[in-house]
Amino acid sequence: MKKADYFNDLISSQTFRFENLTLNGIDNTPILKINVPEMIEQETCLFHRDVASGDDYFKLLHNEIKRRISDHEAMPIVRFADGEYAFYQNSLHCNGLYQQAESVEAIKKAMPLHIEALKILAKSGKFASLIYPGNIRQEKKGVFSFFRKSKGDDSALKFIEFLFNHNIELTNKNYIPFYIVYAYLTSTDFGNLVNGKKICIVNSECNMDACRQWFAQFSSYPDIVFTEIPDSYVATRWESMKENFLSQVPSDVDLCLVGAGVGSILVCIDVAKRFSIPAIDAGHVLNMMNGREDKSNGPRLYTIHKETID
């Protein structure tokens, strides 16, 4: 099989399919009203053939995180979208709300470390990748030639091919839709799971009072600790800061929530391995916890639960 045909093969073999990501209790209407109409395309996500619904993905994620905490097993969960896709194409378009890379040369120098991390993630964690019809457009006619008319790009397609070129394949065991992470971390299920547990927030800032109040809305009262990390260049400078950072994470932590941009994969992999815990790339949800949704340019899809607006 030609490497360029890998994604088409995933679909034509019916290993994966596109389907609307519907989740019980989630209401995207307020988000869609304040964003461009094309955003609704992102509700159509890549599903594995063994998963029937969005609620099944939610339950699978919850049960596995719960088990990994109980069994003290590493579980990195990392989200991939526009910034990551640009980074793995050696592009400075990865720089958006935050600076991710100083130069193309810095990206290339860091790439072997990222490729190794991606391979570890494929074996022990989850790729939460944003893959929808608008970002898998192909120039050549094929299985998805009909997507050429839709607005979007081929960034997810290039990312999937990048993975395949390095002998990394998406499977039912290592892939979940991007927005499942947001839906789960903003749910009562997650709040109940971490109630009374020690969680470490890894981010450039943390408003402890705001975070405690955020969890309290779920009647959840975790022991929250904060480990600061720079808001820029973690993706290219992780090796130089790694040991100093890891030495500051409490050894008895049950779970980590990470916000480190494109560098989150490196942080999640090493934190999960060092402390044998789930380490989740939380991104925007950390801004929600801090009362700073403005840092994400406003609210995101799959973060509004009906019970919070009734």
pLDDT at 36: 83
Angstrom distance (rounded) from CA 25 to CA 27? 7
Measured distance CA(85)–CA(300) in Å, rounded: 19
This prediction has a pTM of: 0.93
Rounded Cα distance between 68 and 64, Å, is 6
Tokens 């973060």 appear where? 303
Report which DSSP code applies to 205. Answer: -
Six-digit token pair at 29? 């209407």
Q: Check residue 310 and give its pLDDT.
A: 37
- Cα distance between residue 40 and residue 266, in whole Å: 31
Q: 120-152 burial, b for 16+ CB within 10 Å, e for fewer?
A: bbbebbbbbbbbbbbbbbbeeeeebeebeeeeb
**pLDDT value of residue 215:** 97
Pick out the chain residues at pLDDT < 50: 141-150, 308-310
The pLDDT of residue 256 is 98
CA-closest candidate to residue 91, choices 272, 232, 144, 82: 82
pLDDT, averaged across the chain? 92
Neighbours of 259 (CB within 10 A): 27
Q: What per-residue confidence (pLDDT) applies to 146?
A: 43
